[in-house]
Amino acid sequence: MDRRLRRAPDAEWVLMYRLGLSRQRIAELVRAEPATVGYHLVIARRQDQQLEAAHHAAAGAKPGPSPAGLARMEEIIGWITSEGRLPRDRSEHKAERSMARWLSDRRREAAEGNLHPAYRDGLARLPGWARNHRTATDEARWHDRLAQLVDFRAEGHDWPRHRHYESEREHTLGVWIHTQRYKHRRSELDPAKINLLNDAVPGWQTGRTRGRLARR
């Protein structure tokens, strides 16, 4: 198992989060995958119910965006108003891709609850700019399910089943890991998530090897 995952949550990463840094910023500073940092933070929030409140308080106490940051926002708002659409991250134009990345960063901050009010109020002039919020919510749920599966296995249980289960907890986790295996077989699972699963719950692709019901 990866050293970082074996001792989750990483105390340094948790401190950085408590001080108001976003998951993405922490990942950039420590040169880790955002998914890995997210996993650590899920574990940390479950251990410390006050961590999220401390994070939001620290993030809110930070200085506002720089004049350059606000000017960049106005530039992007002007472009969107002129073009009548949001910038595309796969555009052939470098400038448009840069604007798309900037908006993506603001969406992530909004999903994590630490978007600065100056950006929030300015971007409110663009209906639908944060429409990828659901994606961020789904990502958070994915990491939470992984943490739950780690706990389930650590308690001595075999791999959870999505059929013939013994509890709703097992059913929920069984459906989730079954979905990850299905996506992996179809090459639809994010490589970063594959690595995280490999490190956190080795053997997840194979699943249980005992207690299977006989095929008829």
- Is residue 11 a contact partner of residue 43, using CB atoms and an 8 Å limit? no
Distance CA 109, CA 83 (A): 25
Token pair for 3: 């050293």
First to last CA, the chain: 37
For range 61-66, the mean pLDDT: 74
DSSP string, 54-98: HHHHHHHTS----HHHHHHHHHHHHHHHHHTSPPPTT-SSHHHHH
Angstrom distances, CA of residue 89 to CA of 95, 96, 99, 148, 216: 10, 7, 8, 33, 50
Q: Please state whether the predicted TM-score (pTM) of the whole model is above 0.75.
A: no
Lowest-pLDDT choice from 47-56, 59-68, 78-87, 152-161: 59-68
Token pair for 215: 């095929």
Q: Sign of dihedral through CA atoms 25, 31, 36, 37?
A: negative
pLDDT, position 13: 93
**Phi, psi angle pair for 31, to nearest 5°:** 60, 50
Higher confidence at residue 85 or residue 1? 85
What is the average pLDDT value for the chain, to the nearest integer? 85
Per residue in 8-33, pLDDT (tens digit) is 789 999 999 998 888 888 988 998 88
Distance CA 201, CA 194 (A): 10
Residues 10, 37, 137, CA angle at the centre, nearest 5°? Answer: 135
